[in-house]
Structure 1
Amino acid sequence: MKIYDDKHIKNVVFVGAHNSGKTTLAETMLFEAGLINRRGTVENKNTVSDYHDVEHERGNSIFATPLHTEWRNYKINIIDTPGLDDFIGEIISSIRVSDTILTVLNAQQGVEVGTEIIWNYIDKYLKPTIFVINQIDHINAKFDESFKSIKNLVGNNAVKMQYPLVVDGAQCIIDVLKMKMYKFSPDGGKPEKLEIPDDQKQLANELNNELIEKAAENDETLMELFFEKGTLNEDEMRVGIKAGMLNHELFPVFCVSALNDMGTGRLMGFIDNVAPAAADLKSEQSMEGKEVNATKENPTALFVFKTVYQPNLGQITFFKVMSGEVRLNDKLVNSRNDETEIINQLFIMDGKERQPVTKLTVGDIGATLKLKFTETNDTLAAPKHAITIKPIKFPPPRVKKAVFVVNTKDEEKLSESLKKIHSQDPTVEISFSSEAKQLILSCQGELHLATIDWTLKNVYGVEARFEKPKIAFRETIQRSSTSNYRHKKQSGGSGQFAEVHLKIEPWNEGMDEPQGFNIRGKEEVDLSWGGKLVFYNCIVGGVIDQRYLPSIMKGVLEVMEEGPLVNSYIRDVRVMVYDGKMHSVDSNDISFKIAGAHAFKEAFLNANPKLLEPVLELIVKVPEEMVGNVMTDLQARRSMIQGIESNNNYQVLKCLTPEAELYGFSTDLRSLTQGRATFKSAFSSYQPVPTNVQKELVNQ
């Protein structure tokens, strides 16, 4: 395979909402370049990028798939990404290693919620971006409305490079950079290049002038040329467009029909000639504060952006060469754990097909097999040149499930399988709740969960079931209470004896010290589950020896770890031990621990105990016309609406919602809004549970 230098490698990531046509566009580009003999289709399950069995079964992209094509002495690395935000991790990691983003829009829909979600990440990384309006030959295509929706998203810096036109029943594209009309046969492919029709010349000239002005704005030299000549030639315009893309201040808009192979060759030509390469982007700062310069003369540094497990191959590690060059048998050091990895195999990946290479240069994307110590987000660097590329920050999960094996013999197998799934997709989080004694799987949505279930069953042979996780309630008290307990046990020889009198009260920050007690000691315990226990020694006259106080507190803490209402943690209580009795022979630590626990539990039940539930701050972005239905659903979930803000054609609802009520919200929201709304949540605080809900929970 031909080795390309860094100036002739372009890394382009295809992003866009579900059904925008990304996979079809990638397939058509490979076909146009002659890398495949015939185009596959999503429906026929034979495209290069959608090759996983689960993708064939579900009929949509689930994994980001690296491909490549070659066009006019340039190598274009393409990463085809999913369109559903359940798989946002695949999209974000691809954006992270891209040089240019190609955002594909369905001409019938324009900018959709999925597009907006992805745009937020593009904007965060300030990546050069091309917009491609696809399906222009569809009977319901709305190019002008789609372009308007792009301007609503990115502002007036969106600029038409092309627009579609039907002439004598034939699909055409007017190109305002080249000032030509491309006329396509019904089968697409190479177009006929024609002059722009007379009735389109005024519009084409206006758009060409706008493009010239936008190009000139991004380069001082070009601006001077523009003032001097009043125009720019095509080569000068390319320089200005590229500068604008690098400044994240110019967004070219193209139009294609990927399905019918119209306009894809011209788009690839623009990627070759104008779209930035890795060497054009600003140098990154490493975690150590060093500049990571994209030059082949620098020491080698690879950034791992994706990991895939395949039953017949094992672990496939995808990386971008951030600096230097990587060759077969190179020894590189993992900056996270200082382990040395040997690059025994080196590939260019096209879906499931592997093309062996002997080296890859800076800016290129490749893969290797069976690394022992390396995961997604790791940096592999030349020995003695340690460097850590800034890792990808993945969004927090939105759906949580308790996961159990159907066959208990598979418990260890489940654990190992979930580790691999997390390694492959860091947006899947696995944790064990010691409080609920449940293994918790967190992910991005119900479709994401269904894919995980499919993978466990079909790839790892583990049958699992998913249930609503137990909610981490807390217990506390609302008034003061006193109690005493005598522990007495005699069974021959030394017995057990202890008597404890105590008072408990609700604790809150800044409250006055308890009144009516002779306080001889105070201990504040910051509880690992939140809140505090404040423990007072108020013993007078030596009725209980000082050495037994820690045992009483230990007994109190044991009850606090498993509260009497629903076996949840107790928090924010203060305890005053003020009286009791002991025996010179039979009293010991265990006796006072038991007496303290019983006295505290009795006092707690008499202190108007209250359940607290975790409340989340929930932010929901929903189309204006669907706000009513979503608000009705939120109110049914005991949400407190904190505010509503307008954002273009969307409303952003901010509310506080009990975690217990959010179970199934992701699925219901998608159903209510046809998948057009999104949400995110974060823990806010613990709040009292309504009396009727508490009664039901306690009864359960």
Structure 2
Amino acid sequence: MKTYQTEQIRNIALLGNTGSGKTSLAESMMFEGKVIERKGTIEGKNTVSDYTEIEQQNQRSIFSTLLYTEFNNSKLNIIDTPGSDDFVGAVISSMYPADLLVMVINAQYGVEVGTEIFNRHAERLHKPMILAINQLDHDKANFDATLDSLKQTFGNKVILVQYPVATGAAFDSFIDVITMKMYKFKGDTGIREELPIPDSEMDKANELHNALIEAAAENDESLMEKFFEQGLLTEDEMRSGISKGIASRSIMPVFCLSAAKNIGTKRLMDFIINVGPNPTLSPVLKNNNEKPIICDASAPTSLFIFKSTVEPHIGEISYFRVMSGKVTEGMDLTNANNSTKERLSQLFVVAGKNRNKVSELVAGDIGATVKLKNSKTNHTLCGPGLDFTFDPMEFPDPKFRTAVKPKNEAEVEKLGELLNRAHQEDPTILVEHSKELRQIIISGQGEFHLNILKWQLTNLHKLEIEYIAPRIPYRETITKVAQADYRHKKQSGGAGQFGEVHLVIEPYVEGAPDPVKYKVNGKEINLSIRGKEEIDLEWGGKLVFYNCIVGGAIDARFMPAILKGIMEKMEQGPLTGSYARDIRVAVYDGKMHPVDSNEISFKLAGRNAFKNAFKEAGPKIMEPIYDVEVLVPADRMGDVMSDLQNRRAIIMGMGSVKGFEVINAKVPLAELNRYSTALSSLTSGRATYTMKFASYEQVPADVQEKLLKAYQEQEEEE
């Protein structure tokens, strides 16, 4: 394969809801570029893109796939992305190296929830986008309704470049209002005729042509002046104006397709190459030193790794975009994230599982290499004289969590290694070895997302695992003052154990003055503070420990042991074994023995005194509350609201955005288990949500009673 120069390269990512036809479009593009001799189909399980066993089983894209085709003396890098929100991480990582996004719309359904989700990320990254209405040959295709939904979502940015003469089984031609021609296709061969626009369509075509000219002129002052003077623009001038409008996201041109029949693919590729941005026209990126990095093949070399995978018989494959300069086979680079050296022993251009060796890749191109030692997703590699990193990709917070364990306990270490590798390949899979919950917790974007992980562990790595309900990280605290004392005494021949501790506990309140005296059960306790330790707890909140011992009742050397005993009970609270927080403890009296007192005695006395006081101090269990935003079609709003209220949600507000209703609520984490599955069931997969930790709040009395009972039963079993 020849080396394409920066100006000859186009980088696109295909986005769209599941079932919109992205993989079929990619297949047609490769067929048009003669990278493949015949088109595969999803049903035939022989497409270049969805080549893994799990994708073929599910008949949908699950991973992003890098592809390429050659067309009109240009190289078109294509990234086919999953359509499910569960795999949004793969979509985001595909947007980063792309200069243009093609949003594929199913003509049966118009804008779907996936369309809105992916557009939000595109807006955040300020990525240019064009719209391709696909499956216009389907019996239920509705071009006008689909166009209306696009205008409702994207507003006046939506500009028709093409429209179909007919839809459904009769779809074999469309009018192009840039070239002002009708393109008519023969079957599914992709062969087309260029015909004059029929008289019956001329008025509509002229109206749309003028609207397109006006939209193009708005993006260039000189074009606007010419448009006002002459009322028209040449085709080249239109392309220039449209190109600038696309780059600024002020124009989103609409194209007509049947990817399965290869209708419209070639014209779309013409447009991308003639009008779409090449890498030199993309926004200039800044490195961590805030210096702009120009996409220039003559500049020093830098590249960014946007994806890493491990494939059988090959090992780790790193996919990268050349950000500046050029890379050559055997080149030595430095990983700017960890200062290690890497050699690019082999370079490939990639079409699915097919990797073709090349000797060099220039700025703006996308390729792959294998077996890098210390370089992962989000890492920057630099040539001599450079030492900077590009900002890492940002991924959404997880919204589904589960605990996982191997069926064979001896394989815990293997599970840990494989989960760590899974996170490297998919950063939206988060892994936590929770000391608090005594579980391995994995989090992802949905139940299907983590079920795919389970399939991989079971089928590819032969590791049998099971998912179990994750424990909830409750917190325990108190609501009032309480006093307790405890004497630990043990005699078993020889030296014994003796320690007695008197203490008072109360809720910690930020900014409250140090205590001077307490009145507990009619008894007044005066304090003389000798020492104070304020401990910021790892799990949130504080413990404030006061040494108020006078007269040598307890030797100062035993105070750390008392604090250690209290901390042990803070780590395993008296109510449910959860972490305790936000408590002040004053040790004001006690007794010791000249021979039998030691550190273990006072640790046990302090722990038990604290435990007894805690139970008398109006103890409360606190639960994690999450801010949840649900994006839902209006016709399913009532069902979703009702379900949230059944989950103890507090509705904080409602609104609407681009054809969808938005519900904002605060929901206990305990009620969000499997919520993604329930929401999908309620809305036929048309809704989505995000969740983010908000705060800890007290659980209702009935819930607390159930938790206490369950913990008591658990302790009795153990």
User: After TM superposition, is the score higher than 0.5?
Assistant: yes
CA distance in 2, matches of 1:249, 1:46: 38
**Pair 268,588 (structure 1): closer, same or farther in 2 beyond 3 Å:** same
Aligned to 1:628: 638
Query: Is the CA contact 1:170–1:183 (under 8 Å) kept in the aligned structure 2?
Result: no
Alignment of 1:300-449 (within 5 A): 300-449=301-450
How big is the shift at 1:493? Answer: 3.9
Aligned to 2:88: 88
How big is the shift at 1:169? Answer: 5.1
CA distance in 2, matches of 1:610, 1:272: 64
Query: Is the CA contact 2:306–2:319 (under 8 Å) kept in the aligned structure 1?
Result: yes
Worse-matched range after superposition: 146-155 or 21-30: 146-155
Secondary structure of the residue aligned to 1:391 is coil
How big is the shift at 1:209? Answer: 0.6
CA distance in 2, matches of 1:631, 1:372: 50
Aligned to 2:45: 45
Give deviations 1:469-500, integer Å, cap 9, x for gaps.
11111111222221111122233443322221
Give deviations 1:410-448, integer Å, cap 9, x for gaps.
222212211221111111111110111111111111111
CA distance in 1, matches of 2:171, 2:224: 39
How big is the shift at 1:65? Answer: 0.6
Secondary structure of the residue aligned to 2:595 is coil
**Pair 461,656 (structure 1): closer, same or farther in 2 beyond 3 Å:** same
CA distance in 2, matches of 1:267, 1:543: 87
TM-score by length of 1: 0.98
Q: Give the partner amino acid of 1:377.
A: N
How big is the shift at 1:512? Answer: 4.3
Matched, 1:277 2:278: yes
Aligned to 2:54: 54
Secondary structure of the residue aligned to 2:577 is coil
CA distance in 2, matches of 1:160, 1:588: 84
Secondary structure of the residue aligned to 1:348 is strand
Q: Give the partner amino acid of 1:223.
A: M
Unpaired runs of 5+ residues, structure 2, are 518-525, 711-718
**Pair 518,418 (structure 1): closer, same or farther in 2 beyond 3 Å:** closer
Aligned to 1:639: 649
How big is the shift at 1:87? Answer: 0.5
How big is the shift at 1:655? Answer: 1.1
**Pair 44,169 (structure 1): closer, same or farther in 2 beyond 3 Å:** closer
Q: Which residue among 577, 586, 593 is the counterpart of 2:603?
A: 593
CA distance in 1, matches of 2:535, 2:416: 34
How big is the shift at 1:387? Answer: 2.0
Matched, 1:20 2:30: no
Alignment of 1:487-566 (within 5 A): 487-516=488-517, 517-521=526-530, 522-566=532-576
Query: Is the CA contact 2:406–2:463 (under 8 Å) kept in the aligned structure 1?
Result: yes
**Pair 12,659 (structure 1): closer, same or farther in 2 beyond 3 Å:** same
Matched, 1:65 2:65: yes
Equivalent residues, number:
700
Query: Is the CA contact 2:543–2:583 (under 8 Å) kept in the aligned structure 1?
Result: yes
Query: Is the CA contact 1:518–1:540 (under 8 Å) kept in the aligned structure 2?
Result: no
CA distance in 2, matches of 1:511, 1:326: 62
Matched, 1:665 2:675: yes
Worse-matched range after superposition: 546-555 or 370-379: 546-555
Aligned to 2:662: 652
Matched, 1:253 2:262: no
Q: Give the partner amino acid of 1:260.
A: K
Secondary structure of the residue aligned to 1:28 is helix
Aligned to 1:607: 617
CA distance in 2, matches of 1:206, 1:668: 47
CA distance in 2, matches of 1:529, 1:339: 35
Query: Is the CA contact 1:89–1:394 (under 8 Å) kept in the aligned structure 2?
Result: yes
TM-score by length of 2: 0.95
Matched, 1:123 2:94: no
Aligned to 1:138: 138
CA distance in 2, matches of 1:647, 1:49: 33
CA distance in 1, matches of 2:558, 2:424: 50
Worse-matched range after superposition: 666-675 or 502-511: 502-511
Worse-matched range after superposition: 548-557 or 300-309: 548-557
CA distance in 1, matches of 2:459, 2:465: 11
How big is the shift at 1:461? Answer: 1.3
Q: Give the partner amino acid of 1:578.
A: Y
CA distance in 2, matches of 1:407, 1:493: 46
CA distance in 2, matches of 1:506, 1:246: 57
Q: Give the partner amino acid of 1:158.
A: V
Q: Give the partner amino acid of 1:161.
A: V
Query: Is the CA contact 1:333–1:381 (under 8 Å) kept in the aligned structure 2?
Result: yes
How big is the shift at 1:61? Answer: 0.3
Alignment of 1:460-471 (within 5 A): 460-471=461-472
CA distance in 2, matches of 1:66, 1:523: 57
Worse-matched range after superposition: 183-192 or 565-574: 183-192
Worse-matched range after superposition: 575-584 or 112-121: 575-584
Worse-matched range after superposition: 7-16 or 601-610: 601-610
Q: Which residue among 679, 692, 715 is the counterpart of 1:682?
A: 692
Matched, 1:206 2:215: no
Secondary structure of the residue aligned to 1:530 is coil
Query: Is the CA contact 2:137–2:171 (under 8 Å) kept in the aligned structure 1?
Result: no
CA distance in 2, matches of 1:469, 1:455: 21
How big is the shift at 1:275? Answer: 0.5
Query: Is the CA contact 1:170–1:185 (under 8 Å) kept in the aligned structure 2?
Result: no
Q: Which runs of 4+ in 1 moved over 6 A?
A: none
Query: Is the CA contact 1:496–1:588 (under 8 Å) kept in the aligned structure 2?
Result: yes
Query: Is the CA contact 2:63–2:81 (under 8 Å) kept in the aligned structure 1?
Result: yes
CA distance in 2, matches of 1:450, 1:543: 60
Q: Give the partner amino acid of 2:6.
A: D
**Pair 367,637 (structure 1): closer, same or farther in 2 beyond 3 Å:** same
Worse-matched range after superposition: 24-33 or 47-56: 24-33
Query: Is the CA contact 1:328–1:343 (under 8 Å) kept in the aligned structure 2?
Result: yes
How big is the shift at 1:26? Answer: 0.8
**Pair 527,296 (structure 1): closer, same or farther in 2 beyond 3 Å:** same
Query: Is the CA contact 1:170–1:186 (under 8 Å) kept in the aligned structure 2?
Result: no
Q: Give the partner amino acid of 2:57.
A: E
Query: Is the CA contact 2:188–2:260 (under 8 Å) kept in the aligned structure 1?
Result: no
How big is the shift at 1:515? Answer: 4.4
Query: Is the CA contact 1:21–1:258 (under 8 Å) kept in the aligned structure 2?
Result: yes
Query: Is the CA contact 1:529–1:569 (under 8 Å) kept in the aligned structure 2?
Result: yes
Q: Give the partner amino acid of 1:87.
A: F
Aligned to 1:616: 626
Q: Give the partner amino acid of 1:373.
A: N
Secondary structure of the residue aligned to 1:139 is coil
Alignment of 1:147-158 (within 5 A): 147-158=147-158
Give deviations 1:542-578, integer Å, cap 9, x for gaps.
3223332222222111111111211111112222222
Query: Is the CA contact 1:534–1:575 (under 8 Å) kept in the aligned structure 2?
Result: yes
Worse-matched range after superposition: 556-565 or 115-124: 556-565
Aligned to 1:110: 110
Aligned to 1:192: 193
CA distance in 1, matches of 2:195, 2:692: 57
CA distance in 2, matches of 1:653, 1:149: 21
How big is the shift at 1:300? Answer: 0.8
**Pair 169,106 (structure 1): closer, same or farther in 2 beyond 3 Å:** closer
CA distance in 2, matches of 1:648, 1:305: 30
Worse-matched range after superposition: 408-417 or 325-334: 408-417
Secondary structure of the residue aligned to 1:166 is coil
How big is the shift at 1:186? Answer: 2.9
